[in-house]
Amino acid sequence: MKSIARHGVAAPPARSARPCRLGLAALAAPWVFAGAAPAVAQPQTYQLDPAHSWVHFEVLHFGTSTIRGRIGPVKGSVRLEPSVGRGEVSLAVPTASVSTGIGFFDARLRQADLLASDEHPEAYFVATRFSFEGERVVSVRGEFTWRGASQPLTLNALRYACRSDTTAAKPVQVCGGDFEGELLRSDFGATFGLPFVANRVRLLVQVEGRR
């Protein structure tokens, strides 16, 4: 019974893999027919580069100075289709990786009343509402899930560019940028230290994706 049930659960992904293969074939098509027809823009999928994909946060301490921390690397992929103004991103942020430069502070941040890294090892950002200016991503609106709570979050590009990385064995297309967002930690139930440590958290997201 159980193995049948498992088989039943496993079946849909196997079926859904077919359109994926078709998708890849379609991706190859513009190259094959490049000379014959104008290239039809296709979505391009970029995998995040762990050396250049991090979340930095900033939060004001006693209204005086800014505490900074880093979480990451961020894992995930981004699908971009600038010609039709579409994009899709799904990112996971490993909260236990928090690093402020102070070991005991990091340990405190991982506790249940702040990052809650044991119960919720990852935070997620999932978005499908992309704004472009030409080929450039200018903002991404989606949902941020942290500590099991989901809230809308908009990330605005402070800079964005694409380039060809010719240092790799095969040239790799790289797109990336800096994105900025802001959240109120109380919206996610992370209220420890309020109001001495501010409610407003500024997020600075560095991201580079490769394909």
Partner 1 sequence: MTKILITAALLTASFGAAHAQSASYAIDPTHTFASFEIVHFGTSTIRGRFDKKEGSVTIDRAAKTGKAEITIDMASINTGVAPFDGHLKSADLFDVAKFPTAKFVGDKFSFSGDKVTEVAGTLTLMGKTQPVTLKATNFSCYVNPMLKREVCGGDFETTLQRSAFGITYALPMAAPDSVRMLVQVEAVKQ
Site residues (vs partner 1, CB under 8 A): 50-52, 54, 56, 60-68, 70, 72-73, 99, 101-102, 105, 159-163, 174-178, 196, 204, 206-208
We find the least distance from the C-beta atom of residue 102 to partner 1, in angstroms, to be 5
Query: Which of 36, 81, 93, 97 has its CA nearest to residue 211?
Result: 81
User: At closest approach, how far in Å is the CB of 73 from partner 1?
Assistant: 7
Complex with partner 1: residue 48 or 190, whichever CB lies closer: 48
Question: Which residues, in sequence order, are bridge partners of residue 75?
Answer: 92
Single-letter code of the amino acid located at 201: V
168 φ/ψ angles, rounded to the nearest 5 degrees: -75, 160
Smallest separation, CB 77 to partner 1 (Å): 16
Rounded to a whole number of angstroms, the minimum distance from the CB of residue 131 to partner 1 is 18
Chain centroid to Cα 210, Å, comes to 13
Nearest Cα residue to 96 out of 85, 108, 84, 81: 108
142 or 177: CB nearest partner 1: 177
Query: Strand pairing of 200-210 and 172-184?
Result: antiparallel
Nearer to partner 1, 142 or 176 (CB): 176
Q: Which is nearer to partner 1, 63 or 134 (CB)?
A: 63
